[in-house]
C-alpha cells in the first residue's frame, strides 16, 4: 500500500504489506539464485553440530563478526575525554564517518571528529599537504584547545610520520608553534580499539609530561577508566565514591559529560573532559590506577617510567572487584572507606542473597573486551552462576591464562571454557553444542539470540538497538546492583513468556517471584 499523510508506517510494518512481500519474494527468486529450501535447511542443521564446530574452530584465515573494533575508534573515543579536544584522524573521510557513527549510535549524542581527507593522490604521494590543510581548518573552524591526531590504515601503509608532519604543519603556520597537538600511530589492521585507546592516552600524557620535572604529591591518584561504553554512568559513580572518601584524584580521559550533554538550547561541541592543566599536574601524582588493565598496558608502563606507582584492575564490577579497587585507593590516599560505602556494599550482598534461588546454577556465555569479560565472569560466580563460555576476540594468551586462573578459583568456574581470539561465529557453535541460559555482550549478539534462542543481555559497547543504558553505572556496588537487576529481569521475562497460557503452561498463577 502507498504511504499517506494519514497513515505513515515505519519500515518494519511497511515491508510486511502484501505488495512488498511479493516484491521481495520475486527479487529472491529472480536475482539471488537461491538453493532449494531443503538444501538450506540441511546446511543450517549441519552448522549446529559438533562436527561443524570442529571445522569452525579450525579456521585460521577468516574472521566472521569479530567482537572488537579497530584502533582509530579507540583513539577517537580517548581524545573526546579531554577539555575542548578535537579528534583528528589522518586518513580518509569514510573511516572517520564510521568512528563517529559508531559512537553517536551508542551514546545517542553527536560525536565530533575531523579527517585529513586522504584520497588516491595522498596514498601515492603521502598525506603531508592533507595534514597541513587539515590542522589549519580544524584550528580555525572548531576553536579547540587541543587537537589529538591518530591514523588509519591508509596513512600507516604508506608510512606517514605524524611527528614530522605535525612539525611541518606548525612551520607553515597551520597552528601556533606552542599549540598542543599530541599524536599516536593507530594502524587499524592490527590490534583493536583498546590498543588505539591505550596509544592515544599514552601519547597525550607523553606530550605534556616529557622533559618536565616531577614533584610528587603524596596521596594523590590518577584514574584512567579505559575504553568504556558506560563511561557516563561509571565515571560519575566512581567520582561519587572517591568524593565520599575525600580522595585527591584526577580522572585522566573523562568522556562522561561529552557524551551526555543536556538539551537546554545550547549546542556544546565540547563538554567536560579532563582539563589540560590537570593533565599537566597529573605528572606529580603519587600513583596512577587503571580501571581496565588490557586497555592501558603501554600507558601504565610510561607512568612507571616517570616514577609513579601503578596498579590496574579488570573493570571493578561486583563485590570483590570493587573491594579491591577501594582498598587500593585507601592504601595510597590514606583515606578510610566511610560507613556510607560499607553500607552500600552490604545492600548489594543482601540483594544477591535475596535472589539466590533464581541465580544459582544459571549458565552464561560472555563476550566482549578482555577486562569486561573478566569482570562479568567474576560477578556471575559471586551470584552462584556459571560463566560457561568466555570469549574475547581481542583477548591475548596472557588474558586467557588469567581467566583460567580466575575460573579455577571457584567451583562455579571449574567447567568454564575460555576463548581468546575467537569471533561471534565461533560463539554460535558454542551456543548450539553447549547451550546456556543467558548471553551477555553487545547489540551484535541479537543475531545469536534469534538464531540460537539464547536470551541476550546488553552490557557491552556498542549498544545500538536499546537506548540510555550507558547512563547507568555498572561499576561499584551500585553498578553491581544494576547488573544484578538487569540479569534478573531477563530471567523473569523469559519465565513469564514460558508461563503465559493459563491452565496450559501456568498452573500456579504466579504473581510473586
pLDDT digits (tens, 9 = 90+) for 197-251: 999 999 999 999 999 999 999 999 999 999 999 999 999 999 999 999 999 999 9
Is residue 111 scored above 60 in pLDDT? yes
Across 446-475, average pLDDT: 97
| ∠ Cα 459 461 467 (to 5°) | 70
CA–CA dist 445, 430 (Å, integer)? 13
Report the pLDDT value the prediction gives residue 28, as an integer from 0 to 100. Answer: 86
CB 18 within 8 A of CB 2: no
Q: How many CA atoms lie within 13 A of 91 on its CB side?
A: 28
Task: List the one residue out of 346, 142, 341, 161 whose CA is nearest residue 247.
Answer: 341
Report the pLDDT value the prediction gives residue 5, as an integer from 0 to 100. Answer: 77
CA–CA dist 159, 68 (Å, integer)? 25
Phi, psi of 386 (to 5 degrees): -120, 110
Preceding amide of 240 cis, omega within 30:
no
And the C-alpha cell for 321?
572487584
Reported confidence tier of residue 120, pLDDT bands at 50, 70, 90: confident
Reported confidence tier of residue 367, pLDDT bands at 50, 70, 90: very high
CA–CA dist 218, 216 (Å, integer)? 6
CA–CA dist 270, 263 (Å, integer)? 14
Task: List the one residue out of 411, 415, 356 whose CA is nearest residue 390.
Answer: 415
And the C-alpha cell for 474?
555498572
Is residue 1 scored above 60 in pLDDT? no
Phi, psi of 455 (to 5 degrees): -60, 135
Is residue 512 scored above 90 in pLDDT? no
Task: List the one residue out of 152, 160, 150, 149 whose CA is nearest residue 92.
Answer: 152
Is residue 4 scored above 80 in pLDDT? no
Report the pLDDT value the prediction gives residue 381, as an integer from 0 to 100. Answer: 98
CA–CA dist 131, 115 (Å, integer)? 9
Whole-model pTM: value is 0.95
Exposure string for 410-444, b = 16+ CB within 10 A, e = fewer: bebbeebebbbbbbbbbbbbbbbeeebbbbbbbbb
Alpha helices in 32-161 (DSSP H): 37-46, 50-57, 71-79, 93-107, 120-125, 128-142, 153-158
**Higher pLDDT pick, 435 / 24:** 435
Report the pLDDT value the prediction gives residue 507, as an integer from 0 to 100. Answer: 78
**pLDDT tens digits, 272-302:** 999 999 999 999 999 999 999 999 999 999 9
CA–CA dist 332, 245 (Å, integer)? 12
Phi, psi of 136 (to 5 degrees): -65, -45
Report the pLDDT value the prediction gives residue 2, as an integer from 0 to 100. Answer: 63
Task: List the one residue out of 393, 475, 396, 403 whose CA is nearest residue 226.
Answer: 475
Which 3 state secondary structure label does DSSP give 37? helix
Is residue 385 scored above 90 in pLDDT? yes
Question: Residues with catalytic annotation?
Answer: 153, 157
User: H or E segment at 390?
Assistant: strand 386-392
How does DSSP classify residue 470? Answer: G
Alpha helices in 160-227 (DSSP H): 162-171, 193-209
Which 3 state secondary structure label does DSSP give 439? strand
Report the pLDDT value the prediction gives residue 33, as an integer from 0 to 100. Answer: 85
Is residue 409 scored above 70 in pLDDT? yes
Which of the residue ranges 25-29, 265-269, 328-332, 406-410 would you say has the lowest mean pLDDT?
Answer: 25-29
Reported confidence tier of residue 79, pLDDT bands at 50, 70, 90: very high
Across 144-165, average pLDDT: 95
Q: What average pLDDT is seen over the chain?
A: 95
Amino acid at each position: 500500500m502507498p504511504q499517506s499523510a494519514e497513515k505513515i508506517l515505519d519500515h518494519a510494518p511497511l515491508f510486511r504489506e502484501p505488495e512488498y512481500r511479493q516484491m521481495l519474494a520475486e527479487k529472491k527468486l529472480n536475482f539471488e539464485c537461491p538453493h532449494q529450501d531443503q538444501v538450506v535447511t540441511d546446511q543450517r542443521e549441519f552448522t549446529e553440530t559438533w562436527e561443524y564446530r570442529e571445522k569452525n574452530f579450525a579456521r585460521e584465515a577468516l574472521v566472521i563478526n569479530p567482537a572488537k573494533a579497530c584502533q582509530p575508534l579507540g583513539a577517537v573515543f580517548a581524545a573526546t575525554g579531554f577539555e575542548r579536544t578535537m579528534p583528528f584522524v589522518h586518513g580518509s573521510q569514510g573511516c572517520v564517518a564510521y568512528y563517529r557513527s559508531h559512537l553517536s549510535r551508542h551514546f545517542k549524542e553527536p560525536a565530533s571528529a575531523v579527517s585529513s581527507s586522504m584520497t588516491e593522490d595522498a596514498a601515492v604521494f603521502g598525506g603531508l599537504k592533507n595534514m597541513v590543510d587539515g590542522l589549519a581548518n580544524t584550528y580555525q573552524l572548531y576553536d579547540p584547545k587541543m587537537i589529538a591526531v591518530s591514523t588509519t590504515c591508509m596513512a600507516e601503509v604508506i608510512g606517514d610520520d605524524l611527528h614530522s608532519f605535525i612539525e611541518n604543519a606548525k612551520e607553515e603556520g597551520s597552528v601556533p608553534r606552542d599549540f598542543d597537538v599530541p599524536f599516536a600511530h593507530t594502524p587499524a589492521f592490527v590490534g583493536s580499539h583498546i590498543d588505539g585507546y591505550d596509544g592515544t592516552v599514552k601519547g597525550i600524557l607523553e606530550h605534556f609530561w616529557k622533559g618536565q620535572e616531577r614533584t610528587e604529591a603524596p596521596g594523590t591518584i590518577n584514574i584512567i577508566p579505559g575504553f568504556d561504553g558506560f563511561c557516563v554512568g561509571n565515571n560519575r559513580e566512581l567520582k561519587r565514591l572517591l568524593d565520599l572518601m575525600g580522595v585527591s584524584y584526577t580522572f585522566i580521559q573523562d568522556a562522561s559529560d561529552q557524551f551526555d550533554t543536556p538539551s537546554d538550547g545550547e549546542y556544546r561541541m565540547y563538554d567536560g573532559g579532563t582539563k589540560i592543566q590537570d593533565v599537566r599536574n597529573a605528572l606529580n601524582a603519587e600513583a596512577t590506577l587503571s580501571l581496565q588493565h588490557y586497555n592501558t598496558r603501554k600507558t601504565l608502563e610510561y607512568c612507571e617510567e616517570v616514577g609513579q606507582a601503578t596498579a590496574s584492575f579488570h573493570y571493578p564490577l561486583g563485590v570483590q572487584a570493587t573491594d579491591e579497587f577501594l582498598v587500593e585507593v585507601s592504601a595510597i590516599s590514606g583515606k578510610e572507606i566511610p560507613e556510607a560505602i560499607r553500607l552500600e556494599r552490604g545492600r548489594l550482598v543482601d540483594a544477591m542473597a535475596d535472589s539466590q534461588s533464581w541465580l544459582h546454577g544459571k549458565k552464561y556465555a560472555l563476550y566482549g573486551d578482555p577486562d569486561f569479560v573478566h569482570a562479568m565472569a567474576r560477578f556471575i560466580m559471586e551470584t552462584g552462576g556459571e560463566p560457561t563460555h568466555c570469549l574475547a576476540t581481542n583477548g591475548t594468551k596472557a588474558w586467557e591464562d588469567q581467566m583460567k586462573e580466575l575460573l579455577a578459583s571457584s567451583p562455579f568456574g571449574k567447567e568454564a571454557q575460555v576463548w581468546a581470539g575467537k569471533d561471534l561465529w565461533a560463539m554460535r557453535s558454542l551456543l548450539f553444542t553447549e547451550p546456556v541460559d543467558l548471553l551477555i555482550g553487545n547489540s551484535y549478539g541479537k543475531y545469536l539470540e534469534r538464531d540460537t534462542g539464547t536470551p541476550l543481555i546488553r552490557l557491552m559497547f556498542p549498544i545500538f538497538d536499546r537506548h540510555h543504558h550507558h547512563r547507568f553505572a555498572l561499576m561499584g556496588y551500585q553498578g553491581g546492583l544494576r547488573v544484578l537487576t538487569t540479569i534478573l529481569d531477563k530471567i523473569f521475562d523469559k519465565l513469564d513468556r514460558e508461563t503465559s497460557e493459563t491452565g496450559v503452561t501456568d498452573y500456579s498463577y504466579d504473581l510473586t517471584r
